[in-house]
Amino acid sequence: MPKHFCCVPDCNSASAKKNNLQKYPWMKGVKLFPFPLRKAAVLRKQWIDLVRRHDFTPKKYTRICSRHFLKGQTPRDDPKAKPTLFPYNNWGKKCSPLYIFSLIISVNACRPTKINLLLVHAYLILGHFNFQFLIRLFLKS
Ligand SMILES: [Zn+2]
């Protein structure tokens, strides 16, 4: 059986790790799904876009792991399922207000400009808030 890895950036799921759950307990129950077939072109393209990898074409053995699907909404449950949970959207989790507040403070402590605050607020309101974005903003400051 070929060894499968999850193709999502910053996700470390791999089929081989399931044989060592003591070392990789988070791999318990994780499944690796193939991309939709070429004949399901629209869905396939949506998956590719969602993965957000530069110059990315899934190959025969390219896999995406079940950690990127909502419970009960995996390709096994629904052939039209789409991955929605990624490191870039904080695995679909909304951050706590206190956490967001502390990030805003730290960003603005570095560079207290109105534009930084506006950017952070815009991202929060639009629901595009993600941790990596703020880290990038923070590093740029
Ligand atoms: Zn993954």
| pLDDT tens digits along 40-60 | 999 999 999 999 999 999 998
Q: Given the structure tokens 């393209």, which residue do they identify?
A: 45
What is the predicted pLDDT for the residue at 66?
96
CA distance 136 to 16: 33
CA of 124 from ligand 1 middle (Å) equals 25
CA of 9 from ligand 1 middle (Å) equals 8
CA of 62 from ligand 1 middle (Å) equals 11
Q: Please report, as a single letter, which amino acid is at residue 63.
A: R
Q: Strand, helix or coil at 18?
A: helix
Where is 48: in which H helix or E strand? helix 41-51
CA distance 49 to 108: 32
Protein residues within 5 Å, CB atom, of ion ligand 1: 6, 8, 11, 13, 65, 67
Q: Please report, as a single letter, which amino acid is at residue 48.
A: I
Q: What is the pTM of this model?
A: 0.68
CA of 123 from ligand 1 middle (Å) equals 25
- Cα–Cα distances (Å) from 99 to 8, 65, 93, 96, 107, in that order, read 25, 28, 12, 5, 12
CA of 37 from ligand 1 middle (Å) equals 19
Q: What is the mean pLDDT of the chain?
A: 84
Neighbours of 118 (CB within 10 A): 10
CA of 79 from ligand 1 middle (Å) equals 18
Is a pLDDT exceeding 90 seen at residue 14? yes
- What pLDDT digit, counting tens, does each position of 64-118 carry? 999 999 999 999 999 999 999 999 888 888 766 766 776 776 766 666 566 666 6
Contacts of 61 (CB under 8 A, 6+ apart): 2, 4
